[in-house]
Amino acid sequence: MTAPKTNERPGTRATLRQFPMSASKARVVLDLVRGEDVQSAREILAGTSREAARVVGKVLASAVANAVNNDGLAAEELYVSACYADEGVTAKRFSPRARGRAGRIRKRTCHITVIVSRLDDEALERLRAERSSQAVATRARRVASSRRRERPAREVEPAEVDEVVEPVETGAPESGEVESSEVESDEVESDVVESDEVESDEVESDEVESDEVESDEVDETVAEATEESH
């Protein structure tokens, strides 16, 4: 006995017709949620950046609402038993091209169908156990993080001081040091003055020697002049 066709699967369905999107783009997203439970399918669609994910999410929500309101099923017990996209009407448009030609534009549409069904008892128990373990782990992480935030700061006990450390003065120098530095500067200035006086004495002695040399030359010239006159 052959299995039922995809469009003949039992369950609650929702269909979106004539949506302006190619069927190939919608099928990429439908392949991600096929066979997943409703909660996992919603999480997958929320993390998908394709435009078709938003549309498929709306169709999935409509199918779940139909199952809850019309068939009396619980939303947490449903899964995506089948989903497919068929090609719709293709509108043909033309754009002018060079040399009198026309370029064809195909505006494609598609029909998106999502079918949800109730999980069997074994799969439902397995899913509930998995969700409960995830909830316990999440709660444990949340409690641990809250305890870390509420943990008071550890009080620091003052250390026992055995020896008294004398404070190090970093202020201005004492007056005695200032006076000694002033005395040293005065001595340096006096040395400079004495050296200047010695240099001036040497210059004066040089001038006196030059005057004596000039007087000797004058005496010699006078003597020569007197000899010539005689």
CATH number at residue 43: 3.90.470.10
**Does residue 79 belong to any structural domain of this protein?**
yes
- My answer on whether 33 and 114 are in the same domain is yes
**Does residue 161 belong to any structural domain of this protein?**
no
- pLDDT at position 165 is 58
What region does 163 belong to: left with phi over 0, alpha with psi -120 to 50, or beta?
A: beta
* Tens-digit pLDDT profile for residues 57-110: 999 999 999 999 998 898 888 999 999 999 999 999 999 999 999 999 999 999
**Does residue 128 belong to any structural domain of this protein?**
no
Mean pLDDT of 146-164: 62
* Tens-digit pLDDT profile for residues 189-201: 666 556 666 565 6
**Does residue 25 belong to any structural domain of this protein?**
yes
* Tens-digit pLDDT profile for residues 17-39: 999 999 999 999 999 999 999 99
**Does residue 37 belong to any structural domain of this protein?**
yes
Q: Which comes out higher in pLDDT, residue 158 or 67?
A: 67
Q: Which comes out higher in pLDDT, residue 9 or 192?
A: 9
- pLDDT at position 69 is 94
**Rounded CA separation 33/52 (Å):** 12
Q: Which domain holds residue 198?
A: 176-230
- My answer on whether 110 and 184 are in the same domain is no
3-state secondary structure the chain: CCCCCHHHCCCEEEEEEEECCCHHHHHHHHHHHCCCEHHHHHHHHHCCCCHHHHHHHHHHHHHHHHHHHHCCCCHHHEEEEEEEEEECCCEEEEEECHHHCEEEEEECCEEEEEEEEECCHHHHHHHHHHHHHHHHHHHHHHHHHHHHHHCCCCCCCCCCCCCCCCCCCCCCCCHHHHHHHHHHHHHHHHHHHHHHHHHHHHHHHHHHHHHHHHHHHHHHHHHHHHHHHC
**Does residue 146 belong to any structural domain of this protein?**
no
- pLDDT at position 162 is 56
- pLDDT at position 184 is 62
- My answer on whether 112 and 210 are in the same domain is no
- pLDDT at position 178 is 47
- pLDDT at position 154 is 52
- My answer on whether 113 and 180 are in the same domain is no
Average pLDDT of every residue of the chain: 78
- My answer on whether 28 and 115 are in the same domain is yes
- My answer on whether 205 and 111 are in the same domain is no
- My answer on whether 33 and 111 are in the same domain is yes
**Does residue 69 belong to any structural domain of this protein?**
yes
- My answer on whether 90 and 23 are in the same domain is yes
**Does residue 89 belong to any structural domain of this protein?**
yes
Tokens of 162: 């055995």
Amino acid occupying residue 201: D
- My answer on whether 111 and 23 are in the same domain is yes
- My answer on whether 185 and 112 are in the same domain is no
Structural domain count, the chain: 2
